[in-house]
A = this chain, B = another copy of it.
Amino acid sequence: MPRSLDKDKRTRLITASLEEFGERGYAAARVSDIARRAGVAPGTVYTYFDDKEDLFRCTVQHGWDEFQGELNRVLETPGNFNQRFEALIDYGFDLLRRVYPIVRGMADEANRLDLFNKNLDRLCAGLERLLEIRPDSGGIFATGDPALRMYFLKITVLGILFKVALAQPSELDREIEEVKAAVKQGFLYTHPPPHAAEGEDGRR
């Protein structure tokens, strides 16, 4: 029986996917369970997505886009670096808390690597722009070589993502707090080093 609900079915399916794929992994997640979770018939999934793989990719992409949107917003907003960066971090880890199990699935299949790498590149390009804004250019990424600097950035972002993604569910909240604190420490407070105005640190 057709429902009046039209546009939010896709959203509900994405949400349900996030939960199912997250809890059970791509292979173990069942399309019919996702459908039930979304409150639709199994066949309805195929009205909105080509197949299970498409559903997964769209779900993942949805998460990336959400964060990228916030990042872009921050980039286009004038203001104090530390405040903007901190807001982004808070937003990002809130998002990650909701979608973290999906990160694992993203790396599962060889044919999903492109999707992952493209989004990582996009994310890091945005972060790079944000970091460049930073009043000081010190800190752990204050390498002279821009390429190397970007490389470290990607490794660090990847490490953070998987540090959270690989956390046991029961440890998730603690893990996120730890990572968040570490990131803020590493990117915000450590440079401009405390009570030190020397830029020597920055050129390292």
Q: Which of the segments A77-85, A86-94, A139-147 contacts the partner chain?
A: A139-147
User: Are B26 and A107 in contact (CB-based, < 8 A)?
Assistant: no
Q: Once the chains are docked, how many angstroms separate the CA of A43 from the CA of B91?
A: 46
Residues of B within 8 A of A109 (CB): 25, 28
User: Are B25 and A144 in contact (CB-based, < 8 A)?
Assistant: no
- The interface residues of chain A, by DSSP majority, are classed as helix
User: Are B163 and A154 in contact (CB-based, < 8 A)?
Assistant: yes
Q: A27 at the A/B interface (Cβ < 8 Å)? A: yes
- A positions within 8 Å CB-CB of B: 23-28, 101, 104-105, 107-110, 113-114, 116-117, 120, 140, 143-145, 148, 151-152, 154-163, 165-169, 178-179, 182, 185-186, 190, 192, 199-200, 202-204
9 A-B pairs with least C-beta separation? A159-B159, A155-B159, A27-B27, A158-B159, A104-B107, A202-B204, A140-B140, A158-B162, A151-B182
